[in-house]
Structure 1
Amino acid sequence: MKINDFKLECYFGIYEFTAPYLLTQSDCESMSTRELLDMEKGAEEAYLNQWLGYTETWGDPELRELIAGLYKDMTTEDVLVFHGAQEAIFGYMNVMLNEGDHMIAMYPNYQSAYEVANSVPNCEFSKWYIKDDGEKWVVDFDALEALIKPNTKVIAVNSPNNPTGYTFTNEEIKQLCDICKKHDIYLFSDEVYKGLELDGEKREWMADYYHKCVSLGVMSKAYGLAGLRVGWLVTKDHETLEKVVKFKHYMSICDSAPSEFLSKVALRHSDQLLERSKNIIKDNLKLVDKFFDKYPNLFEKKAITCGPVAFHKLLIDMPVKEFCQLAVDKKGVLLLPSDIYDMEGEYFRMGYGRKGVPESLAKFEEFLIEEKFV
């Protein structure tokens, strides 16, 4: 297989662990192993006695049961656990896409959601763009239907969307699933920020609406436990899961026993962890909103309804790539420019899920003042 470089990961490979002020991270605040184990009586002793042998390829049965419990009508048979979300995406796309197929991806999106399509000979790929209406990011379902061809095999979406923050309403989820049913198209739904609703509307998992939909979840984003490297696919489409698990045999084979143990502890306290993440995001949003209100001539703020990321517009006469490079070079403030997503327009991603946002935002403001942008 020949596959293009993962531009976002190449960029983070340079700056994520060297820049001191991370203002673009897409995950939520993490915690120590001790903090997580302290959430449950007896968990620490059980963790220390965890057997370090191989685990089941499909995932620990109890973990699969806990994951299934997040959905309306799923069982352990509908769950396949992976070594992170990336492995799940890569496995699914390799199994589903063949020469002559066509796929559509919501765009911008996580690069691995569509890059496999670009690596398959004669596999067509179309972008369903999220559009900027001047105030917020929006989608057009008529535009989506116009992209559908007789050979369209998969539609890939990401909601809440990274990087824009756009989130389907429940009505739009149903509309999307109805389109897929109408055209008999598989739906890959990246829902790694599920549970971080800020507008009071709890979103449904898309796999609960459509039997040919696969929902992607992970411990990394909403739960803030990226170091566990545990993700999953959930669907009633067992035929597809059986194919994907055979592909997993050529990747991780199975997951880490300690990571699966800690994931079980976390999911038994799912509501508590999600509430923790939402509170951090809400507190940071108050500061960020005040920041953007101070500088309306520099930035066009984009509101979000769910999740920890937003994609704001730079209004000054400078390429956003150059602006972001200057910020990290001069003050160590890391932002993510839109060229990483091959996006037209001068946008940059900000992340609100970590406790270090106030300090990073203050450094960003220092940068604006010192470089005479204000």
Structure 2
Amino acid sequence: MKTPKYLLLLIACLFTFNAFAQQIADSSFLVRGFAIAAPRPDGVADFVKFINEELAPRKVNTLILRVDYNYQFKSHPELRDSIALSKSDVKKMVEACKKNSISIIPQINLLGHQSWANKTGMLLKIYPEFDENPWVKVPLTAAEYKWPNADALYCKSYCPLHPGVHKVVFDLIDEITEVFEAKAFHAGMDEVFYLGEDKCPRCAGRDKAVLFANEVQTIRDHLAEKNQELWIWGDRLIDGRTTGIGEWAASYNNTWRAVDLIPRDVVICDWQYDEDNQTAVYFAMKGLRVVTCAWNRPKVAVSQVEDLYRSRALAGKALKGRFYGIAETVWSSPVQFLNGYYGKTVSPQGGDNTPWNTFKIMFGKAGQLDQAAVSK
């Protein structure tokens, strides 16, 4: 008995609909991220406008906000910046993100990045006993800071084995994730040059990879108690010498071996800015979810977006979900970024190589690939 034509047509329509639904589901599974410093109080309104008018239309679903000490902490008011966000300021951003189905992931730089040039961060400024190498002094002025230098000073670190550091750090994590209503926390942990120093009374002689992995585990375990995820930058987990990537976007001090020691549920933000080194494949093969991060090179960002979609299309079931998404990262203040984005300032030195141009081109490419997948 022949199957009626209308039934064949119905089956074909159902198959097409299911394929279409799968394309949409696959696209929505991806992290489409934007990482930037949290605005100061007087910039919240402009930032909320950017969320509504620029992030949402591009289907950005994850906002990583580098808060650090730009919040009026109640648990440790001594660590607040002199001008800091209030709870009311934060809730304005939270509500804008809720309305647009955007998850906020607040960030506080942990372990490394406890100083910058001639400025010591609030944690070591208030609690100098946490310093991994207090004998290295931060220069008094920015003009005195030069790299390289005799102390190999780029940014200071806190000592992960100091008995008092996690009590303070966990108080901050708990407060910031609560006010941002966050399901994940970004701990930074990039560019850690000081770890396991020979003169440190606690860390001397210890394996740097183990020290790094243990700190990841400690932070991850604390977050897991509240069913929250840990996100970190991935550079310290890459062998800078073997890959040729170098000591900035990868590790020269052997922390890279920690990639096999950290929990598999940690999300890796893999920043490779100047070249498309395809390190996302490395992290995925290690069993980790990876978000590929771009900055100010549009051509590199486009290549990375294409890599992501290609990898997800070609990978087997186990690997596919580990290619977790893409994110644009910004390393200036929100004011500087928004001024560039809206054409209020220009960057003649950078030309097209700016974070705002990369943002537009990267998400434009992602949108094209989404549309192409749906139209197949």
Give yes or no for TM over 0.5.
no
Question: Which is richer in helix?
Answer: 2
Q: Which has the higher contact order (CA 8 A, sep 6+)?
A: 1
Max Rg structure: 2
